[in-house]
A and B are shown apart, each in its own frame.
Chain A
């Protein structure tokens, strides 16, 4: 069964303290790995798509990387405005699935 698992569930950082969020997947024939950011009371906002192992994409303080088993979202020198829930997702293969989302990592950055 296709699965996407994120860890940790919650992460508290001090402003400027870099860290990484993990997304592991068991989806055969991966056809893309998506990262989203979700703020409270809002819908997920698209960040990145990664397609092949070794691929990296960056946006401001965020960098997403992909291996054959997992993806990482690296946050460099985070600011309080980076506080949000970060979701990763992958297209599923089973009937009745579209994007399979992980449960998310809730990041809190304090000043």
Chain B
């Protein structure tokens, strides 16, 4: 069974630009979550989607947005990039919405560098 696939693996952008990251969940998984990982803050929750609806959102500015398609694939977008947005962006899928009973399965992330 294929795991969570994230594209691209690496991105270099300039301040002020915008970026779109893509995530394909494990087949049959309908929930997709996004996390930002930095050396200082660790993993921080961005948002969770289930059945094309945002079910939960972390404490990030409105420049961070996402969406989920009918085939459960998800994209996240960051507009007006700042240097502090440099991070590893991780997508995770699970069978059901919420984190209580269904472990998250992570992709290998997209490494975003903002210069």
Interface residues of A (CB under 8 A from B): 31-32, 34, 36, 41-46, 49, 87, 89, 91, 96-104
Contact = CB atoms under 8 A, between A and B. Distances in A.
Contacts of A98: 33, 45, 48, 56, 58, 99
Contacts of A103: 42
Contact of A46 (B48, B98, B105, B109): B105
Interface string B33-75: 1010000001111001000000011110000000000000000
Contacts of A97: 45, 58
A97 B56 CA distance: 8
A55 B56 CA distance: 29
Contacts of B109: 42-43
A107 to B, nearest CB: 16
A89 B99 CA distance: 10
30 contacts: A32-B99, A32-B101, A42-B109, A43-B4, A43-B90, A43-B92, A43-B107, A43-B108, A43-B109, A44-B43, A44-B104, A45-B106, A46-B103, A46-B104, A46-B106, A49-B103, A87-B43, A91-B98, A96-B45, A96-B56, A96-B59, A98-B45, A98-B99, A99-B43, A99-B45, A99-B99, A99-B104, A102-B42, A103-B42, A104-B42
Q: How large is the interface on B (under 10, 10 to 19, 20 to 34, 35 or more residues)?
A: 20 to 34
Contacts of B56: 96, 98
Nearest to A34: B103
Nearest to A94: B59
Which 3 pairs, one residue from A and one from B, show the smallest C-beta to C-beta distance? A43-B106, A101-B43, A98-B45
Nearest to A46: B103
B97 to A, nearest CB: 10
Given A43-B4, A49-B103, A104-B42, 9 more contacts: A31-B100, A32-B100, A32-B101, A34-B103, A43-B106, A44-B43, A89-B43, A96-B59, A99-B104
Contacts of B100: 31-32, 91
Contacts of B42: 101-104
Interface in B81-115: 90, 92, 98-101, 103-109
